[in-house]
Structure 1
């Protein structure tokens, strides 16, 4: 009997796990999830790594060696995260080989403190790409204004990129333009475009969290009726933009020489408001050629009771526009919402990175 995650995959949605740990790798759990939960990719972030380091003793031996060698905390973080990402990439390598390179992808984030520094972001992306040295790696680069040229530069060098921290439709269009420019330069540089993959991580639940808070402050009946509509409307119109850009002549010229489209990735799909269905950001964002990266709890909820009814995006463009218009009418400034969410996202990513550094520093101090 086909389970919901298999049905989701059958609709063209790649299931990625938003988590990684050495325990998950050494126990064979990641392989098990590929076998039983249709997982074909993995994303990571500093918070995930900090949590993994807190639990168990899986990192003790490596931490001891790093401490004995006197490695700096920053370099220790690179070694620790690179180790796990390389291992995960090896676990998923058969999927990479069997899916014409679209599956089996594993993402590793550049230092979030560099989010406003183009040149250092590119240098860090190069270093991580070299260090992990796996063809199914993706380097996560934030979609800040400064990140856009870094995305183009990395792709131009043949580096596969997961563009993260996208909230606005305007910025998403800029990301797609940066992707196309990167592939055009990669072609000029003699790279095989078929080997370069990219996803654009469009954040979902955080949009509802912020908009719903503002709707509650407005307090009218009209405002209350719009709770939970902003994120799905925003994401659906992002997919409409994706269809437009990847139906263009500019794209078709790249596709003709082997390029693969930059897939929309639904990120932040764990539900923050317990009054919402725990699978809403999965079942309501089903469209071909997309990725949904899920926390394990969301993945298990989908496997248990998710109702996959086919495409739930492309018939919703008009309703999405109507929902955003209604939000504007009651006083929601979506431009301000997405600007705030990007600024907060950069701060939160930096905070998570500093907490990871502190955790590694503490573990190194006791491991020598």
Structure 2
């Protein structure tokens, strides 16, 4: 294991990779990263769209799908679930070694359904059954409509990665949805010690939007607040996590074998090249957390990440002051996080459309080749 990843692990941080492709699973790169200390994998529509547009490792499966006459939507379903299934198999030893805490791979429901509770619930069930691996996480966006779907999935024994969380209020609602889901799962006779969940709290996108607004203000006071909102928001999220998972309600579930829903720091690659490239790693160290990193951030962390210990506890007062100061400058927290959720969903829907087009083109290309033979 890499020294820096091992140090993070010693401080309670599980390092996951925010990337997935057949090149990674079949070429041995994912196994190398697991050997270096990576403990899980997350994926999203953007990642799949990128993977499908490169290389030829999908050709054989595409030929098989053409032979079956499947349409584009079904082809995407089969390709992405197969990618995740392969990654789950690579990470199974980690899953076994950590008693199911890590060794997880995340697969997102169709983002076009993020505002449709029933469709999200149905998609979560279908993906869970299709992948057929106990170390799977189904990713469900934390929209208002997604909250009851999160509860339903958990109540049915499905492990969930709640994604696209930007606001503290929404994060608190996510944790309540988690607790309700476990309570219902227990009533339904499920072994709740087997149900796991993480809550993906996005970091760098907050700084991108807030810093843009600070730049428009342009005062010394505004400039002094640049690149502070993302960490402050995430640290206050951890404070909320500590509060919820110290309540009597949680204690009842814990005594029944439940595992707390861990905060997962997502969007941890810096967008501003002037910032330290490990800012959202070394600045968010605390026990029982996950940090999912794009490849560049992971490489930077392994190479020169300076892990000094817990960088979250003890920062709550300062973090709240950052958000208060932004409000005084006229930057509305509520407005920012609502915009980021909308933009996040739009980006995922756009990537999903690109993925569909990529698969359509590939199906047509292979079909033409087969017909010409």
Give the TM-score, by structure 2 length.
0.97
Secondary structure of 1:314 counterpart: coil
Shift of 1:53: 1.2
Matched residue, 1:50: 49
Matched residue, 1:24: 24
Matched residue, 2:149: 150
Q: State the Cα deviation string for residues 174-195 of structure 1 (Å, max 9, x = none).
A: 0000000000000000000011
322-331 or 254-263: bigger deviation? 322-331
Shift of 1:247: 0.4
Matched residue, 2:165: 166
Matched residue, 2:13: 13
Where structure 2 has 5 or more consecutive residues not aligned to the other structure, the ranges are 368-373
Matched residue, 1:216: 215
Secondary structure of 2:87 counterpart: helix
Where structure 1 has 5 or more consecutive residues not aligned to the other structure, the ranges are none
Contact 2:264–2:290 (8 Å) recurs in 1: yes
Secondary structure of 1:315 counterpart: coil
Once the two structures are superposed, the pairs formed by residues 100-249 of structure 1 within 5 Å of their partners are 100-249=99-248
Shift of 1:326: 1.1
Shift of 1:241: 0.2
Secondary structure of 1:8 counterpart: helix
Matched residue, 1:367: 366
Shift of 1:56: 1.0
Q: Could you tell me how far apart the structure 1 residues matched to 2:2 and 2:79 are? A: 37
Q: Could you tell me how far apart the structure 2 residues matched to 1:221 and 1:260 are? A: 45
60-69 or 275-284: bigger deviation? 60-69
Secondary structure of 1:106 counterpart: strand
For this pair of structures, how many residues does the alignment match?
367
Q: Could you tell me how far apart the structure 2 residues matched to 1:173 and 1:315 are? A: 20
Shift of 1:315: 1.4
RMSD: 0.8
Matched residue, 2:76: 77
Q: State the Cα deviation string for residues 311-361 of structure 1 (Å, max 9, x = none).
A: 000111111011111111111101100000001111111111111011001
Q: Could you tell me how far apart the structure 1 residues matched to 2:324 and 2:47 are? A: 37
Once the two structures are superposed, the pairs formed by residues 264-303 of structure 1 within 5 Å of their partners are 264-303=263-302
Matched residue, 2:258: 259
Give the TM-score, by structure 1 length.
0.99
Q: Could you tell me how far apart the structure 2 residues matched to 1:150 and 1:50 are? A: 25
Q: Could you tell me how far apart the structure 1 residues matched to 2:48 and 2:342 are? A: 22
Which consecutive aligned stretches of 4+ in structure 1 deviate over 3 angstroms post-superposition?
A: none
Q: State the Cα deviation string for residues 216-255 of structure 1 (Å, max 9, x = none).
A: 0111111111000100000000000000000000000000
Shift of 1:2: 6.3
Matched residue, 2:319: 320
Q: Could you tell me how far apart the structure 2 residues matched to 1:204 and 1:72 are? A: 37
Matched residue, 2:370: none
Contact 2:63–2:366 (8 Å) recurs in 1: yes
Q: Could you tell me how far apart the structure 1 residues matched to 2:321 and 2:113 are? A: 38
115-124 or 45-54: bigger deviation? 45-54
